[in-house]
Amino acid sequence: MKAVLTIAGSDSSGGAGIQADLKTIAAHQLFGESVITALTAQNTTGVFGVMDVDPAFVGAQMDAVFDDIRPDAVKIGMVSSPAIVRAIADGLRRHRAESIVVDPVMVATSGSALIADAAVDALVAELFPLAAVITPNIPEAEVLAGMAIGCADDVERAAELIAARCAAAGETSPNPDAAPRVPAIMVKGGHGVGDPDAADDYLRMAGGEHVWLHGKRVHTENTHGTGCSLSSAIACGLAQGFSADVAVREAKAYVAGALAAGLNLGRGSGPLNHMWRYPGPAPC
């Protein structure tokens, strides 16, 4: 059985973060492992507290995982401080991790900030050069590219600016194995820049090839953990040997199905139905 490691924050309500990642990995019939970077007190209505894990202990968790059941792919989600970013990057380099997906989580679905501003620069400098795929949504892409995004052309330009920033980070990286490297960049279209009935994502491959991935929007307020689940599903595809573009397409289809399944829990933006492909009780 292939193993996938998620390095992310814990969501006490179970809809996002580590919990959503492990559910996604299980739904793909792979073995899930976890390194927790932060504890959050949150539910479908918001985030009420964040407590970071000591960076040294983040590294200790990584060592324990890699020294026993080595993961075939790694997904990185919420990392709220530069020190934790560096601990993760050191661990990935130390263990020569492969097939890394970085979801640059900055804001929760509820609108709560999840990352310090200084950690964004650390993400780009330390983790992007190690990644095979990164998955910013439109607000995150705006931060990473330093520009506003209002149309499809803006999305494409932002992806190019992010790619250039990744290349520059790779060239200045202290790790010779990482320089220079540009990951595949998936700019997620869930926030929309055009047709309100479309869910179109943009994929810029590492070699510069690019494609729009068109889809129909699932009109639902229950989107808690969508980004976490998508990036974990991409990691599952990479663990199984899929190319980045195939892994992204398969992950997009999985998340669309999880949204369309119509789970309705909580008083805010509810979670997805991660096990929608399997028979079971009817959705709530």
- pLDDT tens per residue, range 206-221: 999 999 999 998 989 9
Q: Which two tokens stand for residue 82?
A: 């530069």
Q: Which of 189, 225, 237, 270 is catalytic?
A: 225
Helical axes 226-239 vs 244-260, angle rounded to 10°? 140
| Per-residue model confidence as pLDDT tens digits over 261-279 | 988 999 999 999 999 999 7
pTM, whole model, 2 decimals? Answer: 0.93
Which is more confident, 87 or 281? Answer: 87
Q: Which of 9, 59, 228, 237 is catalytic?
A: 228
226 belongs to the catalytic site: yes
Look at residue 178 in the predicted model and tell me its pLDDT: 46
Look at residue 106 in the predicted model and tell me its pLDDT: 78
Q: How far apart are CA 245 and CA 234, in angstroms?
A: 9
pLDDT-derived band at 100 (thresholds 50, 70, 90) equals: very high
Q: Which of 24, 44, 109, 226 is catalytic?
A: 226
Average pLDDT, the chain: 90
Residues 189-195 have a mean pLDDT of 71
For residue 34, give the H/E element and its range: strand 31-43
Burial environment of residue 93 by CB neighbours within 10 A (0 to 12, 13 to 18, 19 or more) = middle
228 belongs to the catalytic site: yes
Which is more confident, 167 or 232? Answer: 232
Which is more confident, 191 or 60? Answer: 60
